[in-house]
């Protein structure tokens, strides 16, 4: 339902000619509202309050009485107002600190605060002006001659430090120390740059890497996810969550690879079958069976090829069927010694039709997944129908169920995520974390919940590292 139609609907209602909206319109609006709320809450957690306000306002254009959007908009607007006041006060204090550090030639302290300011406000005029002046000063100092040994490396290191290239700056200062080993300030510079490089590396691997790994899994890029989880575990072998996620990503990668191999054999097998090259086609179907012994499509084609008179050997890796011994033939006695045996006994009921038992009803192959869905175990249901769709791509019912359970998974996870973000906006951090974790229990690939939890973890880490 387009926004124009929504507006028209409200105008009709205002004219007392409103009729109940059709079900498809209501459901369509709900879907749009939920998507917009997800975007708004994600922006809120990322502290992009302007974008959050924009999306909350879009929700209220569709449904002006939406309490969640009203509450979210109110909190986001308040945050914007408070942030502006705080930022103005904070940057004024920080710029004074920078100027004091520059006067006392505390270059690293000055550049650290400058980078902090520009990280929040990249176009802050006064900070950019001071940064430019420092860059020009260090460049002039590098070219002064004559100068003590190591001078060029020392100032070049300061330029690299300003760009946050801490490892390169540390290397240059260590090189300069070989030329002036008694320069205590340079040794402090090198140690500080090394420490910042380790911290930035730790942040890149443990925080950014974790977010990228989860996003890669959500996008189905399990090869990248495996690589990123391994990097995290190399950095921190005690991280049990990463170990679990690595195991899961490896399993999904193996499944993905199996599916890819099966797809290749399927394409070749079908093409050869249609060309009448049944023996070659058979080899492709049996390759599928060696990967997935229960693949119904491959088993069906093997049977079709057998019906065409092609000798079907056991599939690769399958045990040969045991040969059954032929029953012994009865001895034939000829001549006078032959004795007529007794007449066969006539059993009661002989000559009457034997009743054939009715065939048992076939069980639904999707029964296990449906049961998981009905008891609310959405993750198990998704896993079941993914496997089912992989093994039996022609099962339309499995495909429909997979779409249904994924929609339900998305809906339930979104509800938990939104509930957590409302709690977050009200300062109820424990409740927010609990709701986001529940969202991930429902859908391990729910990216907004991942980002929200990472954001909270990042803030906690920054608070614990603060002096």
Mean pLDDT of the chain: 80
**Of 457, 455, 416, 421, which is closest to residue 437 (Cα–Cα)?**
416
Q: Where are the domains of the chain?
A: 3-83, 105-215, 221-307, 371-465
Domain 221-307 has CATH 1.25.40: yes
What residue spans of 121-165 are helical by DSSP H?
A: 125-143, 151-162
| 279-322 residue pLDDT tens | 888 888 888 888 888 888 888 889 888 888 777 776 554 545 44
Q: Judge if 3-83 and 371-465 fold alike in CATH terms.
A: yes
Range with lowest mean pLDDT among 3-17, 38-52, 101-115? 3-17
CA 86-92-94 angle, to 5 degrees, is 100
Q: How confident is the model at residue 452 (pLDDT cuts 50, 70, 90)?
A: confident
In the numeric block, the tokens 């093409």 are attached to 271
Q: What is the pLDDT of residue 403?
A: 87
| 423-448 residue pLDDT tens | 887 778 888 888 988 888 888 878 88
With beta carbons less than 8 A apart as the criterion, state whether 448 and 42 touch: yes
Distance of alpha carbon 413 from alpha carbon 439, whole angstroms = 4
Q: What tokens were used for 326?
A: 């032929």
16 versus 385: which is more confidently predicted? 385
Q: What is the pLDDT of residue 155?
A: 93
With beta carbons less than 8 A apart as the criterion, state whether 421 and 45 touch: yes
Q: Examine the pLDDT at 148 and tell me if it is beyond 60.
A: yes
| 31-84 residue pLDDT tens | 888 888 888 888 888 888 888 899 899 999 988 988 888 888 888 888 888 888
Domain 3-83 has CATH 2.40.160: no
**CATH-assigned architecture of domain 371-465:** Alpha Horseshoe (1.25)
Q: Examine the pLDDT at 94 and tell me if it is beyond 60.
A: yes
């Amino acid at each position: 339902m387009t926004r124009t139609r929504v507006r028209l609907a409200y105008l009709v209602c205002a004219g007392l000619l409103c009729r109940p909206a059709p079900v498809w319109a209501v459901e369509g609006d709900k879907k749009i509202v939920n998507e917009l709320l997800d975007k708004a809450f994600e922006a809120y957690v990322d502290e992009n309050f302007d974008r959050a306000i924009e999306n909350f306002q879009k929700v209220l254009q569709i449904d002006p009485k939406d309490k969640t959007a009203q509450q979210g908009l109110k909190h986001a607007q308040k945050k914007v107002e408070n942030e502006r006041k705080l930022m103005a006060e904070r940057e004024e204090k920080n710029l004074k600190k920078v100027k004091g550090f520059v006067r006392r030639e505390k270059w690293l302290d000055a550049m650290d605060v400058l980078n902090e300011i520009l990280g929040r406000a990249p176009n802050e005029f006064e900070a950019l002006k001071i940064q430019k002046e420092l860059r020009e000063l260090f460049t002039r100092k590098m070219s002064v001659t004559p100068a003590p040994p190591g001078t060029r490396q020392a100032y070049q290191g300061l330029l690299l430090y300003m760009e946050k290239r801490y490892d390169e700056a540390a290397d240059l200062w260590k090189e300069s120390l070989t030329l002036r080993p008694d320069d205590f300030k340079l040794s402090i510079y090198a140690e500080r740059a090394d420490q910042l490089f380790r911290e930035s590396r730790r942040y890149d691997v443990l925080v950014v890497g974790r977010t990228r790994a989860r996003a890669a899994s959500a996008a189905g890029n399990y090869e990248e996810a495996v690589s990123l989880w391994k990097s995290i575990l190399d950095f921190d072998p005690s991280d049990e969550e990463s170990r679990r996620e690595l195991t899961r990503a490896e399993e999904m990668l193996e499944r993905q690879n199996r599916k890819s191999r099966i797809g290749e054999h399927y394409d070749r097998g079908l093409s050869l079958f249609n060309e009448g090259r049944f023996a070659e086609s058979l080899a492709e179907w049996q390759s599928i069976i060696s990967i997935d012994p229960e693949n119904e499509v491959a088993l069906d084609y093997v049977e079709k090829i057998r019906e065409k008179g092609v000798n079907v050997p056991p599939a690769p890796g399958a045990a040969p069927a045991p040969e059954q011994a032929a029953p012994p033939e009865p001895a034939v006695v000829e001549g006078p010694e032959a004795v007529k045996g007794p007449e066969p006994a006539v059993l009661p009921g002989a000559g009457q039709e034997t009743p054939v038992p009715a065939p048992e009803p076939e069980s639904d192959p999707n029964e296990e997944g449906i049961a998981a869905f009905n008891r609310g175990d959405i993750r198990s249901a998704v896993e079941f129908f993914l496997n089912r769709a992989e093994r039996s791509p022609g099962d339309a019912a499995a495909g429909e169920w997979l779409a249904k359970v994924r929609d339900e998974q998305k809906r339930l996870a979104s509800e938990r995520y939104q509930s957590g973000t409302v709690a977050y906006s009200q300062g109820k951090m424990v409740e927010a974390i609990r709701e986001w974790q529940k969202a991930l229990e429902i859908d391990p690939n729910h990216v907004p919940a991942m980002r929200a939890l990472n954001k909270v973890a990042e803030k906690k880490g920054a608070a614990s590292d603060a002096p």
